[in-house]
Amino acid sequence: MDAVNQMKKAVGDAAAQRVKSGMVVGLGTGSTTVMAIKAIGERLASGDLKDIKGVPTSFQAIVLSRELGIPLVSLDEVEKIDIAIDGADEVDPQKNLIKGGGAAHTQEKLVDSLAEEFIVVVDSGKIVDKLGSTFLLPVEVMPMAITPVTRALTALGGQPELRMGVKKAGPVVTDQGNLVIDVKFNDIPNPAELEMKINNIPGVLENGLFVGVADIVLIGDVIDGQPSVREM
């Protein structure tokens, strides 16, 4: 396993240890969260953890949870979510995030913000001084609104680009059947304000700024060849 995957596994394992029997658990999306979901599955299989229910944030989380035998429920079936575990593409010193590298941020924001405790799992490469410095901001958009939303994002000072598939010909389609515009902002002085302004554009479903949502950030590192986890 390479160093980045060792970091992801270390934080995934650490987050899974915070799940207790009987909890309703928000199950995030992405390669780091996959490590956490696998660790939860292992704890269930060994009998160390019992009676949990997962609320998935994507098709990826549904498929993996089914493979591992993690029982899933919808938001209609639970009173509350005790804990959510999810990755991020950038984390700033205030624990604000950019998410959506896997185009799953709309369901993720819903589930993560409902959780009583939201734990973010990242490798140390995701920590930034300012949001937007390494990652474009994903915005989920209804297909019929692509042109006016692109203009509105440009008017907000961004450089928007429709996300294209890597193996798929044509644009990336989200789990909800929408498209994603990735936006470069040279500066995001006020993430909370930008989050609201973008979500106020008609045709936008959700953007990847998560402001004031994260409670705990677990950061994976490899020091002297040994994986370690610190908490922010």
Which residue numbers are catalytic? 108
Check the annotation: does 29 bind a ligand: yes
Does 111 contact ligand R5P by CB under 6 A?
A: no
Binding segment for ligand R5P (CB under 6 A), chosen from 11-19, 36-44, 100-108, 172-180, is: 100-108
Burial of 82 (0-12, 13-18, 19+ CB in 10 A): middle
Check the annotation: does 123 bind a ligand: no
Q: Which of 31, 113, 124, 199 binds ligand R5P (CB under 6 A)?
A: 31
Burial of 174 (0-12, 13-18, 19+ CB in 10 A): buried
d(CA 198, CA 75): 25
User: Quick one: tokens of 182?
Assistant: 């990735």
Does 220 contact ligand R5P by CB under 6 A?
A: no
Check the annotation: does 225 bind a ligand: no
Q: Which of 88, 149, 152, 205 binds ligand R5P (CB under 6 A)?
A: 88
Q: Which of 29, 96, 106, 207 binds ligand R5P (CB under 6 A)?
A: 29
Does 163 contact ligand R5P by CB under 6 A?
A: no
Q: Which of 11, 55, 84, 104 binds ligand R5P (CB under 6 A)?
A: 104
Min separation Cβ 208 and ligand R5P, Å: 7
Residue 134 vs 154, nearer CB to ligand R5P? 134
Residue 105 vs 163, nearer CB to ligand R5P? 105
Does 108 contact ligand R5P by CB under 6 A?
A: yes
Residue 47 vs 177, nearer CB to ligand R5P? 177
- Tell me which residue has its CB nearest to ligand R5P: 30
Does 101 contact ligand R5P by CB under 6 A?
A: yes
Check the annotation: does 221 bind a ligand: no
User: Quick one: tokens of 15?
Assistant: 């987050």
Annotated binding residues, as ranges? 29-32, 86-89, 99-102, 126
Q: Where along the sequence are the contacts to ligand R5P (CB under 6 A)?
A: 28-33, 86-89, 99-105, 108
